[in-house]
Structure 1
Amino acid sequence: MARIKPQALLIQSKRKKGPTRISITTIVFCSLIVSLIVLSLVATYRHWSHRSDEQKESALSTFEDTGAFEGAKKYDLPGHAVINTSKGYITVELFKEGSPETVDKFIDLCQKGHFKGMPFHHVIKNYVIQAGHSQELQAAEDWTSKVKIRSQLVTSPKHEAFMIGTSKTKDSNGFDVFITTAPIPDLHEKLIVFGRVVKGEDVVQEIEEVDTDQHYQPKSPVGIINVTLKHEI
């Protein structure tokens, strides 16, 4: 048997102990797998991140739309009413912020045609003209019985002439309309003021000058033909 030389044994031993070489094909294949895994993780993250942003935007949009609707409901109501009477037109600015509930009711009744054909059934010179479906005398007589010396009392904007309001007394006859023709210091005790005349004061004064009987009722019919709501005038 031939003997192996010591130098040959050393070389053979080194070859056995040396690390196994990895082929280029294996390296490339492993790199592709790692890349695919990384790309998959990135795509998944972007998908869920985008979905979360969409949900936030949707929630914000819903909130904004709701707020816009509420804002529209509050602020986009008509700000003026044009009262067409048998004597001419009276334009009224509505106090949407000062008397919101009364203005809402007035607008609702206008849309339902409540004021069409409504007569001015009481006319008190230098005081008020009153339109409504009620023919009660109590309000007019009560008002005139409590007239005070106006020059001795301090008035506020709500006590001025050409203010429009409705009675604080609730009854089944609906919504009467009062337009003042002079400053009334105790007006707030009697009326809910919800607007003021900005055009047509001369029409109010013409109605005020009609002939009345002893109960302050016009001798000739005068009344409201219809009411038109407007956002701007």
Structure 2
Amino acid sequence: MARIKPKQLLIQSKTKKAPSRISYSTIVTWNLIVVLVVLSLYATYRHWHERSAQDIEMDLHQAELAVRPDDSKMTSRPGYAVMNTGKGPITIEIYKDASADVVNRFINLCKSNHFKGMPFRHIIKNFVIQGGDFDFDGAAQEWITKAKASGKNDLSPKHEAFMIGTAKNPNSKGFDLFITTAPIPDLNDKLVVFGRVIKGEDIVQEIEEVDTDEHYQPKTPIGIMNIILKQEP
């Protein structure tokens, strides 16, 4: 085997390829890739963080609604009722700020057709029309007579004519309705007013003109056909 001379070795070492250098464009490209990856990770983190905050806020809102069930009931509660009578329809506005117990009871009885076919039991001209379950005897007749005969007290707006109320009688299992046909100053402790007639005042007056006996009972039966609840008048 022939020996390689030192000079030839030197020449061969110079002819070997030097290590390749990384270009500037490659460095820029990788830097851009790193930046895009970082931005993508940050955007993903921010998206899930904001979504978690929204979920927490929604859960809190739902919890708040859960502890306020009466609000939803209040907004969905019917605001009007149409009382169909033998003389024609009477539209009633149900007061939102009236006694909740009385209004809820009235609405539930309407839904169960409790008033269907119920007669007007007593009619006192220029005073009140009464229908329902109340027997109108004893103490009830006494306060009606006194109220009718009483004179000249200052009137409260809620005791004007065409108001709808029920007697304050917690021991009664029924529900009686009163429609005033004149301002009644003495009923603060007797009636719970929960609405007023907004249409059909002429029907109320026509019922008021029905002939009655000495006990204020109509000689010709007249009553409530049904009561229909409505959201709008």
Q: Which residue of structure 2 lines up, in the alignment, with residue 204 of structure 1?
A: 204
Deviations 1:100-142 (A, max 9, x none): 4432322222112111111111222222111112324132333
Q: Which residue of structure 1 lines up, in the alignment, with residue 51 of structure 2?
A: 54
Q: Which residue of structure 2 lines up, in the alignment, with residue 114 of structure 1?
A: 114
Q: 8 Å contact 1:158–1:188 — kept in the other structure?
A: no
Gaps of 5+ in 2: 1-18
Q: 1:23 is matched with which residue: 1, 21, 24?
A: 21
Distance of aligned partners of 1:102 and 1:22 in 2 relative to their CA distance in 1, 3 Å threshold: farther
Q: 8 Å contact 2:134–2:175 — kept in the other structure?
A: no
* Post-superposition offset of 1:78: 2.2
Q: 8 Å contact 1:137–1:215 — kept in the other structure?
A: no
Distance of aligned partners of 1:173 and 1:217 in 2 relative to their CA distance in 1, 3 Å threshold: farther
**Which letter does structure 1 place at the counterpart of 2:114?**
H
CA distance in 1, matches of 2:209, 2:181: 11
Q: Please provide the CA RMSD for this pair.
A: 3.2
* Post-superposition offset of 1:155: 0.5
TM-score by structure 2 length?
Answer: 0.76
* Post-superposition offset of 1:36: 5.1
Q: 8 Å contact 1:166–1:192 — kept in the other structure?
A: yes
- Determine helix, strand or coil for the equivalent of 1:119: strand
Instruction: Choose 219-228 or 100-109, whichever is displaced more.
Output: 100-109
- Determine helix, strand or coil for the equivalent of 1:210: coil
CA distance in 1, matches of 2:24, 2:92: 89
Q: 8 Å contact 2:129–2:208 — kept in the other structure?
A: yes
CA distance in 2, matches of 1:156, 1:134: 25
CA distance in 2, matches of 1:148, 1:135: 21
Instruction: Choose 135-144 or 198-207, whichever is displaced more.
Output: 135-144
Q: 8 Å contact 1:122–1:140 — kept in the other structure?
A: no
Deviations 1:61-114 (A, max 9, x none): 562894998755323432211100112111111111344443232222211211
- Percent identity for Structure 1 against Structure 2: 48
CA distance in 2, matches of 1:60, 1:221: 60
TM-score by structure 1 length?
Answer: 0.76
Instruction: Choose 68-77 or 215-224, whichever is displaced more.
Output: 68-77
Q: Which residue of structure 2 lines up, in the alignment, with residue 174 of structure 1?
A: 174
Q: Which residue of structure 1 lines up, in the alignment, with residue 232 of structure 2?
A: 232
- Determine helix, strand or coil for the equivalent of 2:188: helix
**Which letter does structure 2 place at the counterpart of 1:145?**
K
**Which letter does structure 1 place at the counterpart of 2:22?**
I
Question: Number of matched residues?
Answer: 211
Alignment of 1:89-108 (within 5 A): 89-108=89-108
Distance of aligned partners of 1:97 and 1:172 in 2 relative to their CA distance in 1, 3 Å threshold: closer
CA distance in 1, matches of 2:231, 2:84: 17
CA distance in 1, matches of 2:44, 2:98: 51
Instruction: Choose 132-141 or 109-118, whichever is displaced more.
Output: 132-141
CA distance in 1, matches of 2:41, 2:105: 56
* Post-superposition offset of 1:144: 0.8
